[in-house]
Each structure stands twice: as C-alpha cells, then as structure tokens.
Amino acid sequence: MEFVRRHPIFAALSALFVLAIGTLVGAAVIWSAFSEQIKAILDDQFYFSVILSLVLFGLIMGAVAYSILLERKISAWVQDRYGPNRVGPYGVLQPIADGLKFLLKEDVIPANVDKSLFLVAPWMIFIVGLVGFAVIPWGGAFRWPWMDADAPPLVAQVASVDIGLLYILAVSSMGVYGVVLGGWSSNNKYSFYGAMRAAAQMLSYEIPLGMAVLVAILSTGMLRLEQMTEYQAQHGWLVMYHPIAALILFITALAEANRMPFDLAESEQELIGGYHTEYSAMKLAMFFLAEYAHMITSSALIVCLYFGGTHVPGWHWLNTSESAAAMLARMGVMGAKVFLFICLYMLVRWTLPRFRYDQLMRLAWKSLVPLTMALVVIQVLIVYFDAWRWWALIGNAALLLVGAVFSVASGRRITGRQHSLRRAQGELMAYR
C-alpha cells in the first residue's frame, strides 16, 4: 500500500490495464454474439462511412486538443522553455485540464450583441473546419479479412465524390463566414475590424490558393483526391514538378487558417483579440478548435495535392495492397505527413513576426497572384502540347529567374511605409 501511495502512477496504470482488459473482453463477447450483423454493417460502404466519420471526428478532436499542447510545447522549446509540464507526466493531461477549464468558465454574452448570430458564429466556423475532412482520402480502397477476394472493395474515406477538391475549396472558403459573423455580431469595433481584415485577407488569398490547386488539377487531370494521390504514386510527387506552387499553396493555407504571419484578424497588439474579443468559455475554445481543425484539413489537402498523400517512395505495394492492415498503414502514413506539416505550421508561427496589412496585400496581389498565373500558363502549355512532364520544373526555375531579373531591372523598390515617408519628407521640404 505504501508503494502505491508513493507512486500513484502505478495505481493509475493498473486501473487503465483493468479497463483495457475489460474493454477487450467486452468487445470479444459482443463480436462472438453479433459477428454476422457487425460484419454486414462493416461491409456496407454507407454504414462504414458513417462509422468512419464518427471515428474520425473523435480522432480529430483528440488531435486538435493535443495539437494545442504541441503548439505550446514547440513555442516553449523555440524559446528555451519547457512548456506545460505540471498536469501529468510531461504535461500530457494538459488538454483535458484546458477543456475542463473552458467548460466550467462563465459564458458571458455581452448585453448589446446580436444574440442569434453571436451564438451561431462559433458553430459556423467549427463545423466548416470539420466538414472538409469528408473527402480527404485517409486510407484508400481495402477489403476486410472476411470478405471475398472479388467483392468490391470499401473505401476508407467518408465521401468519395467526383468533385472532392471543389467541395474542399467551397467549404473552406465558408470559414471566413464564421469570422465575419462573430466580429459583426459582437457589436465591438475591434471585433469588427478583425472581421473585416479577415474578409479582405481571405478574398485576396483565395485567388492564389485556387490557382495553386488548379496547377495540381491540370497536372493530374483529375478532381478526385484519391485519384490525384494515385497519379502521384505512379508519376512522382507533384512537389517535384511544381515546387513553387506547393510553396504558394502552403503560404495561402497559412493565410486561410489565419495562422501567424497572417493572423491580422486577431492581432492582440492592435485589436485585443480581433473577432473573438467578446467571446468567452467554450465559445472561445471553439474558435481555437476550429483554427486547429482548419490547420489539419489544409495540411491534409497539401499532402494529398503535392506530397503524395498515402504514398511512400519505394513502397508502392503499400498503395496497391487492398488488405485492412495496409489501409491502417496508409492512414498512419497520411497522419505522419499531416503531423509534419502541422509542426511546420507551428514552427513558422513561432519564427515569423506578423505582416503589416499593406505588406500582406502586396504579397498576395503583387507576387503570389502573378506567380500562380504564370504557373498555370506553364502547366496549360504542357498539357496542351502533351509535353515532357519535367518541363514544369524547368518552367519553375525559369520563372524564378525571370522574377529575379525583373526585380533587379526594376531597381530597388521601397516598401509602402518608406514611400509615404519619402512623400512626407518632400512635403516637409516644400513646406519650409
């Protein structure tokens, strides 16, 4: 007893062990009693999709909670700190404590808000952040071990639709709706400024985002995400042909998720909290959950479009195998790639300062949009003349060269603030 009192972790572990054994035994009992019915449900694509969406929802909510912990850890490591390490070993229970805190806090609804919109906004952005998962091909086609070898395979994807990519684009651009609603209904100038900034920013970055996606569509000639990853498994990842487009997709995804160099909508120094200034407790938490869910969706999209999805170079059998184990392994590969991208997102956040608003707009309209336009033209020419695929990479290099020459030839341009400073100085001289 003394030992257990000194080391409560052993008590917790043994309780977990008993719980796990109990779950396994219970699952075995249920399986032996209802195996036929369960198999019938699992064999049907519709019911399997429903179950998969529930499982994915749970997994992704867990991943979102733990990515908040990961963000805090990475920020701490970057700044030579430890990060949360008090709740549980290495702080692993911190998300649970955070969730409890958010649930138990007082949920303030200010007096003069537009109440219905105020209540709808966090759900809006939260749901929009989650529904994008439906068309991400997490595992590809597979058969259960008990199925016949010639039976039609199931697809480990909630909805395998022809317009998967268009669906993601349509849904992800709805994300700004929640932000604008939240900022508008709060009846607070700072919230409103944040919402307006978000709207203008999303409009600007939607264009290069759409064009970077268009490059991938033109390269593969498909709109189904699973077929696009299959194309990349056969011909090599698209990032090798279009590195600039992949980079631009990453940058615009940062902007669409309102992540750090582009988080002007919630810049604390200027706007207190931006569009979520007036929110508290669980509604505030939902804005954060939505942001992280958006991050996971956009990383999954980038992975599918440019980084081969479930494909691992040299392991082609993993993509062609139709066993359930291979499906799980493909899910693991996808998850690992998404995890790497999320780490990159976080590292970028803790490295870069925020853009000024004019820099933000200049970056979108003066560099990203022309660059993606040129990339689309290159890819269109390649598709039209049915040319050698690697011309794309050569075109990318040429584009960089042209850009460099252009920027040298146009002289040392100065940024907007310096320009206005010049003008102010000129006016001052004239004034004297």
Copy the structure tokens of residue 166.
Answer: 């268009």
Q: Which stretch binds other proteins (CB under 8 A): 148-156, 284-292, 386-394, 410-418?
A: 410-418
Looking at the Cβ atoms of 218 and 254, the one nearer to other proteins is 254
Return the closest-CA partner of residue 335 out of 379, 366, 304: 304
Show the site string, 386-405: x = touches other proteins by CB under 8 A, - = not. ------------------x-
Cα–Cα dist 293/188, whole Å: 26
Secondary-structure breakdown of the chain: helix, strand, coil percentages, each rounded to the nearest 5:
75, 0, 25
Cα–Cα dist 310/314, whole Å: 12
Return the closest-CA partner of residue 219 out of 201, 196, 239: 239
Cα–Cα dist 47/216, whole Å: 32
Query: Coil, helix or strand for 141?
Result: strand
Could you tell me if 158 and 134 are in contact, meaning their C-beta atoms sit under 8 angstroms apart?
yes
Looking at the Cβ atoms of 173 and 187, the one nearer to other proteins is 187
Which residue blocks in 79-114 are alpha helix, DSSP H? 94-104
Looking at the Cβ atoms of 6 and 432, the one nearer to other proteins is 432
Looking at the Cβ atoms of 123 and 350, the one nearer to other proteins is 350
Considering the complex, what minimum distance in angstroms separates the CB of residue 79 from other proteins?
A: 7
Q: Which stretch binds other proteins (CB under 8 A): 163-171, 210-218, 390-398, 406-414?
A: 406-414
Looking at the Cβ atoms of 189 and 235, the one nearer to other proteins is 189
Considering the complex, what minimum distance in angstroms separates the CB of residue 239 from other proteins?
A: 16
Looking at the Cβ atoms of 323 and 415, the one nearer to other proteins is 415
State the Cα torsion 401-404-405-406 to the nearest 10°.
120
Looking at the Cβ atoms of 23 and 420, the one nearer to other proteins is 420
Q: Which stretch binds other proteins (CB under 8 A): 178-186, 293-301, 325-333, 382-390?
A: 178-186
Show the site string, 317-336: x = touches other proteins by CB under 8 A, - = not. --------------------
Cα–Cα dist 98/91, whole Å: 11
Copy the structure tokens of residue 140.
Answer: 């590809």
Considering the complex, what minimum distance in angstroms separates the CB of residue 86 from other proteins?
A: 10
Could you tell me if 38 and 47 are in contact, meaning their C-beta atoms sit under 8 angstroms apart?
no
Looking at the Cβ atoms of 295 and 304, the one nearer to other proteins is 295
Instruction: From residue 235, give the alpha-carbon distance in Å to each of 209, 238, 245, 247, 381.
Output: 23, 8, 17, 20, 19
Looking at the Cβ atoms of 147 and 347, the one nearer to other proteins is 347
DSSP H or E stretch at residue 93: none
Show the site string, 340-379: x = touches other proteins by CB under 8 A, - = not. -------xx-xxx----------x----------------
Half-sphere exposure of 140 (CA within 13 A, CB side): 29
Cα–Cα dist 295/341, whole Å: 9
Considering the complex, what minimum distance in angstroms separates the CB of residue 208 from other proteins?
A: 14
Out of 186, 258, 297, 319, point to the residue binding other proteins (CB under 8 A): 186
- If one asks whether residue 79 binds other proteins (CB under 8 A), the answer comes out as yes
Sites for other proteins among residues 100-119 (CB under 8 A): 112, 114
Give me the amino acid identity at 130. L
Looking at the Cβ atoms of 193 and 237, the one nearer to other proteins is 193
Sites for other proteins among residues 38-67 (CB under 8 A): none
Considering the complex, what minimum distance in angstroms separates the CB of residue 242 from other proteins?
A: 16
Cα angle 202, 208, 213; round to 5: 110
Could you tell me if 183 and 205 are in contact, meaning their C-beta atoms sit under 8 angstroms apart?
no
Out of 102, 192, 250, 292, point to the residue binding other proteins (CB under 8 A): 192
Binding site for other proteins (CB under 8 A): 74, 77-82, 112, 114, 183-189, 191-192, 247, 347-348, 350-352, 363, 404, 407-408, 412-415, 417-418, 421, 425, 431-432
